[in-house]
């Protein structure tokens, strides 16, 4: 059976961009393929952070993932640093990774230009970030990696690493993992300027109340052609329409499309309908989150169990890897 691996950074509360771009897809996939999902706290420490906050965010991410439908009894859900084999394999992969490939990664170039502009120097961990990512995936010999567009380059590099290791030590040992691109179109922030992201403050949190969500949706950017209510619009260029596609039933999406093009509805009418459908999807998630918050031991136990199962798989891979590399006594 095909095995799936994916990771998410513990970057505070999940927002609807992460939810639609990754987590909702994971929830469906866990029932179709053997799935390993990881909260990648070792990736998070490549940028400035507070230890207490990281711990809190890791727990919050686990709770939110479970509330969103990731079932720790169906898939393996764990925290990266609980399985030491990730860092061991990362070191090994460093020895078969071309430096030039690391320097060419778009994410490295972006992050290092930001880090390098201050008084802090660029940590080597930022450069080696994709090597750890390859180790995450290949430790479980996963074939499929559900990710967004922005991770395609990292996935290509993980294939190079698998190929190089295989060529040197054992033909065919590691599969070349493929990206399973998320079906949802890219969700922009409510400012319509850039991808939804916590650092830009243009998000809707998965656990925000209906009133908070409305306060953000009401002023959100729509098709700029719709200056007056009587101006017809083009739903294809409207971020609110993308959100309808994600949250509203198909008949509603068709109706919204027609009402926008004919200026039958104003943007506020359109947003009210979206708000109703969004809240309907988020309310059960929020109810589960409240239940889990009342019983924090359940989340801790789920992560402990997940780490245990992940370690079993990881140990087998590492035993074989060490053997093929002459690292055994
Ligand atoms: N780099 C990924 C991101 O920022 C997170 C990640 C780490 C990941 N390890 C992974 C994703 C392994 C997929 C597979 O989104």
Structural domains of the chain ordered from first start: 3-187+296-325 (3.40.50.620), 207-289 (1.10.240.10)
Quote the pLDDT of residue 121: 85
Instruction: Tell me the CA distances in angstroms from 319 to 45, 82, 140, 156, 322, one per residue in order.
Output: 27, 18, 13, 26, 5
Which pLDDT score is estimated for 10? 95
3-state secondary structure of 15: strand
Q: Which of 160, 191, 193 is nearest to 174 (CA)?
A: 160
Whether 228 is catalytic is: no
Q: Which residues contact 72 (CB under 8 A, 6 or more apart)?
A: 66, 302, 303, 305, 306
Let me know: does 217 contact 190? Beta carbons within 8 Å.
yes
Structure tokens at 113: 């230009």
Distance of CA 148 to the CA centre of its chain: 7
In Å, how far are 48, 71, 117, 151, 222 from 113, measured between CA atoms? 15, 39, 6, 19, 32
Q: Please tell me the distance from the alpha carbon of residue 13 to that of residue 163, in angstroms, as a whole number.
A: 36
Active site residue 198: yes
Question: pLDDT value at position 102?
Answer: 97
Which of 111, 170, 229, 272 is flagged as catalytic? Answer: 111
Closest protein CA for atom 9 of ligand 1: 133
User: Which residue has tokens 């499309």?
Assistant: 257
Mutation probe of ligand 1 site: the residue of 5, 8, 148 with most atoms within 8 A of C-beta: 8
Spell out the alpha helix ranges (H) of the chain. 16-18, 24-29, 41-44, 51-67, 85-94, 99-104, 106-117, 124-139, 152-169, 210-217, 239-247, 250-261, 267-294, 296-325
Please list, residue by residue across 32-57, b when 16 or more beta carbons sit within 10 angstroms of its beta carbon and e when fewer do: ebbbbbbbbbbbbebeeeeeeebeeb
Q: Could you give the CA distance from residue 327 to residue 329 in angstroms, rounded to a whole number?
A: 7
- Residue stretches of the chain with pLDDT short of 70: 115-120, 185, 329
Measure 204 CA to ligand 1 centroid, in angstroms: 22
Q: How many residues are recorded in the chain?
A: 329
Q: For Cα atoms 194, 18, 186, give the angle at the middle one, nearest 5 degrees.
A: 45
Catalytic residue chosen out of the listed positions 109, 170, 195, 271: 195
pLDDT for res 113: 85
Whole-number pLDDT of residue 116: 60
Candidates 165, 208, 169; CA nearest to 190 is: 208
State residue 195's pLDDT score: 85
- Give the HSE-up count for residue 164: Cα atoms under 13 Å, Cβ half-sphere: 16
DSSP secondary structure letter of residue 174: S
pTM metric for this prediction: 0.93
């Amino acid at each position: 059976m095909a095995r799936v691996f994916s990771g998410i950074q513990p970057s505070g509360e999940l927002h609807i961009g992460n939810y639609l771009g990754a987590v909702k897809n994971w929830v469906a996939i866990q029932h179709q393929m053997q799935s390993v999902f990881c909260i990648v706290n070792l990736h998070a420490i490549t940028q400035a952070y507070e230890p207490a906050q990281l711990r809190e965010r890791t727990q919050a991410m686990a709770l939110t993932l479970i509330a969103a439908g990731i079932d720790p009894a169906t898939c393996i859900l764990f925290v990266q640093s609980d399985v030491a084999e990730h860092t061991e394999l990362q070191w090994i992969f460093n020895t078969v990774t071309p430096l030039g490939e690391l320097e060419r990664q778009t994410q490295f170039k972006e992050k290092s230009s930001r880090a390098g502009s201050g008084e802090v120097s660029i940590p080597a961990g930022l450069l080696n970030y994709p090597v750890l990512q390859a180790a995450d995936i290949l430790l479980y010999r996963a074939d499929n990696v559900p990710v967004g567009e922005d991770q395609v380059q990292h996935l290509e590099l993980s294939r190079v690493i698998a190929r190089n290791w295989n060529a040197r030590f054992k033909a065919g040992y590691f599969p070349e993992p493929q990206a399973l691109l998320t079906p949802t179109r890219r969700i922009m922030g409510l400012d319509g300027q850039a991808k939804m992201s916590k650092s830009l403050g243009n998000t809707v949190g998965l656990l925000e109340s209906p009133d908070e969500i409305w306060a953000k949706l009401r002023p959100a950017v729509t098709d700029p052609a719709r200056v007056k209510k009587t101006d017809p619009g083009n739903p294809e260029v409207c971020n609110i329409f993308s959100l309808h596609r994600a949250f509203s039933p198909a008949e509603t999406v068709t109706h919204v499309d027609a009402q926008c093009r004919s200026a039958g509805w104003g943007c506020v009418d359109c947003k009210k309908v979206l708000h109703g459908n969004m809240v309907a999807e988020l309310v059960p998630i929020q109810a589960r989150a409240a239940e889990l918050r009342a019983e924090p031991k359940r989340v801790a136990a789920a992560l402990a169990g997940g780490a245990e199962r992940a370690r079993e798989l990881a140990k087998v891979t590492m035993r074989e890897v060490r053997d093929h590399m002459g690292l055994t006594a």
